[in-house]
Amino acid sequence: MIKLNADFKSDGIAHLRACMIQVQGWNAAEVANIPDVDVPDHFFESRRRRLACLPRVLKIADDFHCPTAHDVGWRALQDKVINGEDLNPHLSYRHASPFNSDGLLAEWGVHHFHLGIEPSRQNPAYVKRSGPLVYALVDDTTFCAINVYSHDGFEEDSVIESLHRNWPDMIERYRAKGVTGTPLDKTQRRTVRRKHCNVLVTTLDGTVYMPIGGGVTASGLQLQSVIQADHWRMEMQDLQARFEEKLNELLPTFKERGYGGEVQIDAQLRISDAGYQVFFPKYGVLAFLHIES
């Protein structure tokens, strides 16, 4: 039985690096410095930090209030949300790095947006910075505008109170039923975030929520990102093992292209929008993989 001389996991990691740079727009030098073993974790972590350019339904909380001085910026942001324009220029400068630690996003899954309308002089890739920030819970279909806060509002419990009051169905899966909790003050919450701890949050009516951002690991990475990365690693390993079991089916094609009985055949995994393919450079053969769930 012929064997593959291949490393699908390494090929996959190269693909993830390319996606982080070319698709997600992260700094090439920073991505290059990530050790191979950590690339999958940072790839899935970085995907939640950047927002895809998709039209979204705009929902506004019942007590939302924007200062009059920033009405123009707020209207411009609303238009971008509805029209599916790029929202990332409204995020923090720190989001230019995939290693940015954002406690508000990590714990509660909430992004914060600057309300500038002109390019920033310091970094034209971003809008001009504003003191007031729009906090919002964002997914691929919906933009839930919570309220306008200052840079000192990242630990405000009113963020959770608004989500609980306005969109309880969106955060229902994070409810911790049958337990009670004690509210944390802003200093305590800031401390546990810096130490990458996971804590519950209690609303005024006694409802308790687990971290809406999905929780973090000791390294500060989102727990769900690490789980996705582990699943990806197992998928790459399983993909190579299952493909090797079917390799003999390609022997007739290899023989037509000069195969001489070698025990091992060089191969490379390629990943594209069309799915997984395996390329055999010596024979110029590209095999498309059909993955059965």
Element (H, E) at 268: strand 268-272
Assess whether pLDDT exceeds 60 at residue 229: yes
Beta pairing, strands 3-5 & 57-60: unpaired
Question: Where residue 292 falls among pLDDT bands split at 50, 70, 90?
Answer: low
Q: Is residue 28 within a helix (H) or strand (E), and if so which, with residue range?
A: helix 28-32
Q: Is the pLDDT of residue 275 over 80?
A: yes
Mean pLDDT of 33-44: 95
pTM passes above 0.85: no
AA letter at 236: M
Task: Give the burial string for 49-60 (b: 16+ CB within 10 Å, else e).
Answer: bbbeeeebeebe
pLDDT band at 196 (very low <50, low <70, confident <90, very high): very high
Element (H, E) at 114: strand 110-114
Residue 176 predicted with pLDDT over 70: yes
Residue type, 196: H
Give 98-110 pLDDT, tens digit per residue.
Answer: 777 788 998 999 9
Question: If DSSP codes are grouped into helix, strand and coil, which group holds residue 209?
Answer: strand
